[in-house]
Amino acid sequence: MADRRKSMAGKRPMVRLGDALTGYLKRSGLQAGVERAAVIEAWPSLVGSQIAAVTTAESVSPEGVLRVRVATAPWAAELSLMTPKILANINASRTGRINGIRWVPLGGPGPTT
């Protein structure tokens, strides 16, 4: 056991994997993207059951634009009027800032790559 301690002398201490991953994400600039992407999972709780029933959060662009699929064009039009309030609610509850929402009616263009 003492030999093992001697061989570890001068080496960096062990770090928990979660802490190492968080540190890497912050250093690499990827942390903000990960935090923004968490909006997709949290979407129903952020907008409520009525809006969640007719929408699906699909993706977040590197620029922070949330892409949301909407059941109908009239709903997309209604939600576009509500965008400032929805954005304020999303950004008040998290650190990964969403800069805009793109409402895409069902049957509209698919995701761009």
Question: Which residues are CB-contacts of 68 (< 8 A; sequence separation ≥ 6)?
Answer: 43, 55, 56, 57, 58, 79, 101, 102, 103, 104
Categorize the per-residue pLDDT at 25 as very low, low, confident or very high, splitting at 50, 70 and 90.
Answer: low
What's the token pair of residue 22? 């968080």
pLDDT of residue 113: 41
In this prediction, residues 30-55 reach a mean pLDDT of: 85
Separation CA 64–CA 40 (nearest Å): 12
Between 7 and 53, whose confidence is greater?
53
Three-class SS state of 59: strand
94-108 average pLDDT score: 86
Domains of the chain listed by start with CATH number: 11-105 (3.30.300)
The sign one gets for the Cα dihedral 87, 88, 89, 90 is positive
Does the predicted model carry a pTM greater than 0.75?
no
Per-residue pLDDT band for 29 (boundaries 50, 70, 90) equals low
